[in-house]
């Protein structure tokens, strides 16, 4: 059998082996290599326990026999191959399945609570154990997006955006378990599809079907903003059906030619929006100017930004997840395509703790956990949903959440291994 000479290397101090070339069978796969490393470690350290490893060659995960991988990557088999190994990521463990009354359009979770937006015109707060804490009803149409603004031990501020063209700012008193609509943000002329709160927690941005982005203040006040009224609408009638005080936008960013499907804050001054007009636009939040445009050739459903790797990930109405560098000015904007889904990618979310990992939900009912070092195949498929997946989220505490058209919200615990932190 053909042999290859390989040199093994790791970043993790606990599992270092001697830096000498080994001769390994060319057809060996990850399990074979893993056993080899474990044998070496056991030889050096008597109380070593068996650990599964994953192997990277030039930053690409090994997912097939070694020689096939090297042929595909055009790596010469004559020279010594440098193989990096990391502790294998554990599979996400399913934790909870939370039942809703209708489709789940959006989810955002914190360390303590989960906030979901639902097609039955409500937003709901759940504990991490899957217990329903609060149902927030007030919208007259489908709730399309939800977001936490601020969390204290006493009261929390949260936002819900709806197809009824408003965004409501709610105050939730945790102790009394009461919600109160503080402000009704009016100004959009279409369904509000996406909201994002900035890092200072004082502003938020909303993107709507009416092609506009609007920036609002997230600070509750007692004053009501004046709103120019259409002469046709009696003021009294409007008062009765509205919750909270009216709030008008601080700024309006227009430039998209189609519906805005997703917004986010890259940092305190920069807003990113993805739209149905096949573009991702970056805006200056202070001045409202368009900074740059990334043009794709499909409708964008969702966009996510990772401050760790400074990459944008976009899900669009084809099978691919694309990674973009928002800073790049030259033509080649797509850095990488992750392809394994068979339907539209409706939602993507970067890991808040790991620079290489993200999850995606798709219309093919599957949530996939990706590592950008393996773009052909995902790390794990989470195939629990029975219908379209509409939203995903990933919390700092390592919780993966996905909701979809089967009215179920699935939670997975994804352990952050020590090697992740070390890397």
Partner 1 sequence: MGWNWGWGLCIPRATGRGCRGEEQGGSTPPSGPICPGAAACSGAPNPPLTPFPSASLQDIRNTVGNIPMEWYQDFPHIGYDLEGKKIYKPIRNKDELDMFLEKMENPDYWRTVQDKMTGADIKLTDEQIDLVHRLQKGQFGDVHFNPYEPAVDFFTHEVMIHPVTNRPADKRSFIPSLIEKEKVSKLVHAIKMGWIKPRKPKDDTPTYYDLWAHEDPNSILGRHKMHVPAPKMKLPGHEESYNPPPEYLLSEEERLAWEQQEPAQRRLSFVPQQHRSLRAVPAFPRFIHERFERCLDLYLCPRQRKMRVNVDPEDLIPKLPKPRDLQPFPTTQALVYRGHTSLVRCLSISPSGQWLVSGSDDGSVRFWEVSTARCMKTLPVGGVVKSVAWNPNPTICLVAICVEQSVLLVNPCLGDKLLYGATDQLLESFVPPEEERVQPVQWVPATMEEHSKGIRLVVQHSKAVKQVTWHGKGDYFASVVSDNSNMQVLIHQSSKRWSQNPFRRSKGLVQCVLFHPIRPYFFVATQRYVRVYNLLKQELTKKLMTNCKWVSSMAIHPGGDNIICGSYDSKLAWFDLDLSTRPYQLLRHHKRALRSVAFHKHYPLFASGSDDGSVIVCHGMVYNDLLQNPLLVPVKVLKGHVLTLDLGVLDVLFHPTQPWVFSSGADGTIRLYT
Sites of contact with partner 1 (CB under 8 A)? 103, 119, 142, 164-165, 189-191, 209-210, 230, 232-233, 258-259, 261, 276, 297-299, 301, 317-318, 343-344, 363, 388, 390, 405
- For partner 1, the closer CB: 198 or 210: 210
> Measured between alpha carbons, how far is 68 from 74 in angstroms, rounded to an integer?
10
Shortest separation between residue 363's beta carbon and partner 1, angstroms: 7
Give the residue ranges of DSSP H helices in 26-159.
30-44, 66-72
The H or E element spanning position 419 is helix 418-422
- For partner 1, the closer CB: 29 or 258: 258
- For partner 1, the closer CB: 33 or 104: 104
Give Cα 399 to chain centroid, integer Å. Answer: 12
Shortest separation between residue 342's beta carbon and partner 1, angstroms: 9
Shortest separation between residue 160's beta carbon and partner 1, angstroms: 18
Give DSSP secondary structure letters for 247-271: E--SEEEE--SS-EEEEEEEETTEE
Shortest separation between residue 299's beta carbon and partner 1, angstroms: 6
- For partner 1, the closer CB: 139 or 354: 139
Reduced to 3 states (helix: H, G, I; strand: E, B; else coil), residue 305 is: strand
Question: Do residues 192 and 207 lie in contact, with contact meaning Cβ atoms separated by under 8 Å?
Answer: yes
- For partner 1, the closer CB: 301 or 306: 301
Strand order in the sheet with 270-275: 260-267, 270-275, 279-284, 290-295
- For partner 1, the closer CB: 328 or 342: 342
Shortest separation between residue 387's beta carbon and partner 1, angstroms: 10
Shortest separation between residue 201's beta carbon and partner 1, angstroms: 30
Question: Do residues 302 and 247 lie in contact, with contact meaning Cβ atoms separated by under 8 Å?
Answer: no
- For partner 1, the closer CB: 140 or 177: 140
Identify each DSSP E strand in 130-255 by its residue range.
132-137, 143-151, 155-162, 166-173, 178-186, 192-197, 203-208, 212-217, 245-247, 251-254
* Residue 319 to residues 37, 149, 349, 361, Cα–Cα distance (Å): 37, 32, 16, 11
> Measured between alpha carbons, how far is 20 from 314 in angstroms, rounded to an integer?
42
């Amino acid at each position: 059998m053909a042999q290859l000479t390989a040199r093994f290397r790791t970043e993790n101090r606990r599992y270092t082996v001697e830096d000498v070339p080994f001769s390994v069978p060319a057809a060996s796969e990850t399990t074979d290599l893993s056993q080899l490393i474990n044998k070496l470690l056991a030889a050096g350290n008597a109380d070593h326990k068996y650990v599964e490893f994953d192997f990277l060659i030039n930053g690409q995960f090994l997912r097939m026999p070694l020689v096939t991988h090297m042929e595909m990557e055009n790596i010469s088999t004559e020279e010594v191959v440098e193989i990096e190994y990391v502790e294998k990521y554990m599979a996400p463990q399913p934790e909870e399945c939370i039942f809703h009354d209708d489709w789940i359009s959006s989810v955002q979770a914190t360390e303590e609570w989960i906030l979901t937006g639902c097609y039955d015109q409500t937003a709901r707060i759940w504990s991490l154990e899957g217990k329903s804490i609060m149902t927030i009803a007030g919208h007259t149409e489908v709730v399309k997006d939800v977001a936490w603004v601020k969390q204290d031990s006493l009261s929390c501020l949260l936002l819900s955006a709806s197809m009824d063209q408003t965004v409501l700012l709610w105050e939730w008193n945790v102790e009394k378990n009461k919600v109160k609509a503080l402000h009704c943000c009016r100004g959009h002329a279409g369904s509000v599809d996406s909201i994002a709160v900035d890092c200072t927690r004082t502003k938020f941005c909303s993107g709507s079907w009416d092609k506009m982005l609007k920036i609002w203040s997230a600070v509750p006040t007692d004053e009501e903003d004046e709103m120019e009224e259409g002469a046709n609408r009696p003021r009294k009638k409007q008062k009765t059906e509205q919750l909270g005080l009216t709030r008008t936008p601080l700024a309006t960013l227009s430039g998209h030619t189609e519906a805005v499907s997703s917004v986010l804050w890259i940092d305190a001054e920069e807003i990113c929006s993805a739209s149905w007009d096949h573009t991702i636009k970056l805006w200056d939040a202070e001045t409202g100017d368009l900074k740059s445009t990334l043009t794709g050739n499909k409708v964008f459903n969702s966009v996510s930004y990772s401050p760790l790797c400074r990459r944008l990930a976009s899900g669009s109405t084809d099978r691919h997840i694309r990674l973009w560098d928002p800073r790049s000015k030259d033509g080649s904007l797509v850095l990488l395509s992750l392809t394994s889904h068979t339907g539209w990618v409706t939602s993507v979310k970067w890991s808040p703790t790991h620079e290489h990992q993200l999850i995606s939900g798709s219309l093919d009912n599957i949530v996939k956990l990706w590592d950008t070092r393996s773009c052909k195949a995902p790390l794990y498929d989470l195939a629990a949903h029975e219908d379209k997946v509409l939203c995903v989220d990933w919390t700092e505490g390592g919780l993966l959440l996905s909701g979809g058209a089967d009215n179920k919200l699935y939670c997975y615990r994804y352990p952050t291994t020590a090697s992740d932190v070390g890397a």
